[in-house]
Structure 1
Amino acid sequence: MTLSDGEDEPMTDRTFLRFAETLADEAAALGSKWFRKPIDIATKEDLSPVTEADREIEALMRRRIAEAFPDHGIFGEEHGQERLDAEYVWVVDPIDGTRSFVTGWPIWGTLISLTHRGRPELGVIEMPVLGERWIANSGQPGEFVTRTGRREICRTSRCRALADARFYTTSPLYFDDREREVVTRIMQSAATPRFGGDCYAYGLLASGYIDLVVESRLMPFDYMALIPIIEAANGVVSDWAGEPLTFGSTGQVVAAATPQLHEEAIAVLRR
């Protein structure tokens, strides 16, 4: 593992970055093979859907990680946790947006993150059907990779006020009554409120097309990959109290293009 001059400061080196992109390529190819094909759908304990594709993609990713980095931990949505006390832990979501996947909607993605001592240092948002990818490596500018392979540096918008914001949340159904009440205030105040997107909304925020995303009921495999991407693009991401997201966070997430917009959104969410 490569570290910077300070022993306590991790540097996610090019080896990790190349591996993450290769992992994203393989996951995208496998997910695309299953997309819009007949597939069995089961319901998990939390009532969310899961498919054979979810399980097969994650199993592939876990094999590749174990082969390349046998001392690393793994936290996945479908197959549980291994060695979470390891210095490096990979956090993966094989299909973020399974509801979109099973209804033929192309806005689903694969999420990959590498954490160092609990802090996400690398993140990938892979959109297989769209052929788009966001990737960020700690301490370096984040990149958007187009379908043709062109790489563009990501920068969030300069939106500072909620009244000017393009706002997204996946679904109002994912909030409890109290959460829905405060998020409704956000929607009523924002310039352009929209629904849908799952992880795609965060990529669009990093590229400057969306200004604010607020969600709840997320798990570490839903948000760890997003953190390096948003921060590398000069955005801000936290829980609803404004605290950093960790493995122990409650699942309430707010991501904003600027510190000023983030502060205003947090003020509304705290009411």
Structure 2
Amino acid sequence: MRGRGRSNAGNHIATENKSSSRPSALQDSLYTIKTYKDFRYLWVGNFFTVGAQWLQVLTVGWLVLELTEGNALLTGSVVGIRTLPVFITGPLAGVLADRLDRRKIVMITQGSMACAAGLFALLVISTDLQSDPIQGPLEWWHAFIYMGIAGVAHSIIQPVRQAMVANTVPREALTSALALTGMAHPSMRIAGPAIGGLLIATLGFNWNFFLEALAYFAIVLLMVPVKLPYRQTKQAEHTSPFKSMAEGVNYVLHEKRILQLIVMSFIPNFVFQPLAFVLPVFT
């Protein structure tokens, strides 16, 4: 009995030592950031991407509210139009991500957004928003065009960047990498609008879009040294992109768990996200 008790105690101590030697989630995350250089660039770029998006959403809403003298319908619609291209170009972007260089897709898309944000910033800075009536070339429908372009770019960049996470770390580090990637959205959802609101209150609308353009340009620079060492190269199939997209939709419809996750992701986007679009109306 004594021998058995000693054996159980020894096993208990060994189990405790083994569990204590396991790295914590924080240690796993720090190790992933430190070890995988390509993921580190991608991870930092996520903060620029999400921060620029929320800076854009906040600033455009307030800008249209100013241009339309408080029109709540146009203020909510200008940000809402940004989500429409997801249903069209989003699935196609996933197909392109499987066929083309994902890093180049990110660089071209974010470079295009930097140019669009810079041109829109020039329109804003050329307009006197303090005069009554407002004087200058900027009209409210310019914001709709700009947000439509931003929506197309966002619908392309989102699936490509998500796919790149698995290409920059090995399989055993993927869970930690995905958790780190998810940090960008809640943190920059707070920081982005806060920075934008502070700039609007102190400097007006003039500089927010230039800051947004700089954020997109920073992402392009971050992507220059990135490699995708863990991407599995597949032989190109002689099928049309639309056929591949149809196959993907068919797979989702027949894979119950994937379909449930997608439906769950629509709930916050359709119920809670529109509230953020009309916040400028209540300020």
TM value normalised by structure 1: 0.26
Give the structure with higher Rg (CA): 2
Determine which structure has the larger strand proportion and give its number: 1
Higher relative contact order (CA 8 A, sep 6+): 2
Whose helix proportion is higher, 1 or 2?
2
